[in-house]
Amino acid sequence: MATRKVIQGTAIVRGKGLGKAYFIGRAVQDFTVETIPHHKVVEELDTFEEVRTKVKQYYRNYNMDTSEGHDESGEGTIMKIYEHIMDDPAFKGQVTEYISRKNYTVESAVRSVSKEFIDKFNSAGTSYFRDRSSDMVEICETLINFLNNGGNEKYTFSEDVVLVIDRSFTPSDIVNYNVNKIKGVVSKSAGRTSHAAILARSYSIPVITGVEDIKSRINPHEPVLINAYEDQIIIHPSSDECAEYTAYRERYLQAREVGAKRWHAPAYTPDGVHISVLANISFKDDVHMAQDNGADGIGLVRTEYLLSERETFPDEEEQFAYYSHIISEQNSREIVIRVMDIGGDKAAKFLKMPKEGNPFMGWRAVRILLERKELFRTQLRAIIRAGQGSNYKIMYPMVTSLSEWREIKQFTHVVADELGLPCPPLGILFEVPLAILEIDSFLEDIDFASIGTNDLIQYLSAADRNNSKVNYLYNPAEPAFLRIVDKAIDACTDKGIPISICGEMAGDPMYTIILLGLGLTRFSVIPAMVPIVKEIVSKINFLEIQEELSHLLSVTEIDNIADWIEKKNEELLSDIFERYQIDTVSHD
Ligand code: PEP
Ligand code: MG
């Protein structure tokens, strides 16, 4: 009988999940070599040639769709390297040899040869070769995916799985699979507000990270129970633990169902202040999740996911259809469409991205769009056309300076004029410290504002949101950060400019109370959190909590704020936290 084992990690998305371990990157980890009878060798060689040609073309398409001149590092794009490896005589020759001489199947030959390359690269020890080794993992998986799924279909699990990722967790790890079967993620590294974690949170998939030596501790197909409340990964859980999990799951689903039904109504504080609770969405069908959970509108559409895993930039008509779908589902409710925030941890495969040492500080979002105006124009045209007759707005991420903003705004007006259509309200996602500290100077020029706390906190604390080693520095209770948010809310409120928060902080029920205390009246959160935030709102007196918090905001000790949040949550909201099985203690 298999023995129960507990591995400790760090939870970055809370919850529990149970499934069979599925290794991403398994293509080169654990596999059994399969052979074919000798008379099938020619057929197998043809299959390899066919797949190799398709994959090469797939990488080439990325390169062809990009324009020249963005490769500042001079190292060549990743995609070029991949394309090149497809023709590499050592790689191609060895796979061919394994098939013809050892009678390996294509799959076994590709995996074996990739693994040998990886072992060699790893033993070289330098970071350059370590990068090449992860390139080989990517290439091997792409070849296997083309071989088994034709390359572009989503991999469909037939049973519940826990994804095991022996590297940094990335958005494509979720995007590439059918999410409803993913019950948890274990990874070597990932940040609490990384885009991969945000996606996992949207689909209620618990994530535990910071797990070293994964391969030697978990085996493929083993049953794994994730308990992300206790930071635990339980391999071969006991039958009691499985039964306890089933009971947890039932309570969880029931509480969510009741909440979602109840909170289709607008939310008011007991002293009568209306608080809008909007939803953040990443994929077009998420709009249904937003509706089902009673969102008052959509406060953030992360349109860059339209590009997920694509080989080419979607043309105007395709984007038009995409935005029209989301907008039509909204009827007359508000919808804020953010232009593509490419870069950081969301590299677009079709775009020739420079290899940057520090991508979150690099060529990202409007910095790309202002340089690649043809992409910007296509997206704006599609949004403006799709938005006609609806309550839509356009929001711009990563705006840093006023002159940059003026250029963006003017360009958007030019595009609307070209179409002969009215320009919608335009707003800024304040997430760069320089911009939010100077928010007053933007107010004459914007129609609305939102605060991107995920990036704002990473830039203020100089702590990469993707790096689990510095997760502990992500702390929305930091007094200096709260004072900046407070000032921004006040500045907008005084001028009558609507301001929301759409970073993860807004959807963390732990912090709803403090945001109300700062005077926030517009929250934009992952759909599943809409009913919970609305319910909390219905318990908190808006004016009273602002008065109470104002005395605390001058403190410099984070503990004072953290203690206050914990005490208030306990005092006013413990029944809600209990019903939804949410932690009342801070993440750290
Ligand atoms: C943010 O930075 O808080 C935000 C909402 O944008 P994203 O998480 O997509 O960077
Ligand atoms: Mg951001």
- Res 75: pLDDT: 34
228, two tokens: 């992300």
What is the rounded CA–CA span in Å between residue 524 and residue 202? Answer: 13
Does 465 show up as a binding residue in the annotation?
Answer: yes
Quick one: which of 548, 547, 578 has its CA closest to 565? 548
Which ligand is nearest the CA of 457, by number? 1
- Res 28: pLDDT: 65
Residue 341 Cβ inside 6 Å of ligand 1? The answer reads yes
Among 278, 304, 306, 455, say which to mutate for ligand 1: greatest number of ligand atoms within 8 Å of CB: 455
Q: What stretch(es) of the chain map to CATH 3.20.20.60?
A: 252-579
Give 509's DSSP letter.
G
DSSP element (H, E) containing 189: strand 182-189
Q: In what order do the strands lie in the sheet with 16-24?
A: 5-8, 232-235, 223-227, 16-24, 161-168, 182-189, 207-209, 10-13
Residue 324 Cβ inside 6 Å of ligand 1? The answer reads no
Quick one: which of 318, 295, 296, 298 has its CA closest to 306? 318
- Res 233: pLDDT: 98
Quick one: which of 138, 148, 135 has its CA closest to 106? 148
User: Could you report the average pLDDT of every consecutive run of 10 residues in the chain (588 residues)?
Assistant: 90 95 70 88 95 86 49 49 86 95 94 87 70 74 77 71 86 81 93 90 94 84 94 97 96 92 95 98 92 97 84 91 93 95 82 81 95 97 97 98 98 98 98 98 98 97 90 92 97 98 97 98 97 98 95 80 93 94 58
Q: Could you list the active site residues? A: 195, 502
Asked if 458 contacts 474 with a C-beta cutoff of 8 angstroms, the reply is yes
Ligand 1 atom at shortest distance from the alpha carbon of 504: 3
- Res 74: pLDDT: 35
Quick one: which of 242, 248, 229, 293 has its CA closest to 267? 293
In this structure, the residue with its CA closest to atom 3 of ligand 1 is 452
Burial of 57 (0-12, 13-18, 19+ CB in 10 A): middle
- Res 409: pLDDT: 98
Residue 256 Cβ inside 6 Å of ligand 1? The answer reads no
Residue 471 Cβ inside 6 Å of ligand 1? The answer reads no
Q: What stretch(es) of the chain map to CATH 3.50.30.10?
A: 5-26+157-251
Distance of CA 52 to the CA centre of its chain: 31
Does 302 show up as a binding residue in the annotation?
Answer: yes
What is the rounded CA–CA span in Å between residue 552 and residue 479? Answer: 9
What is the rounded CA–CA span in Å between residue 216 and residue 571? Answer: 45
Asked if 27 contacts 230 with a C-beta cutoff of 8 angstroms, the reply is no
pTM, whole model, 2 decimals?
0.81
457, two tokens: 């906190």
Does 101 show up as a binding residue in the annotation?
Answer: no
What is the rounded CA–CA span in Å between residue 378 and residue 314? Answer: 9
CATH number at 252-579: 3.20.20.60
- Whole-number Cα distances in Å, 98 to 33, 52, 57, 326, 444: 11, 15, 23, 49, 68
* The CATH classification of domain 5-26+157-251, taken from the options 3.90.1150.10, 3.40.50.2300, 3.50.30.10, 3.40.50.300: 3.50.30.10
3-state secondary structure 46-86: HHHHHHHHHHHHHHHHHHHCCCCCCCCCCCCCHHHHHHHHH
Quick one: which of 232, 159, 400 has its CA closest to 408? 400
- Res 167: pLDDT: 78
143, two tokens: 């070849």
Residue 476 Cβ inside 6 Å of ligand 1? The answer reads no
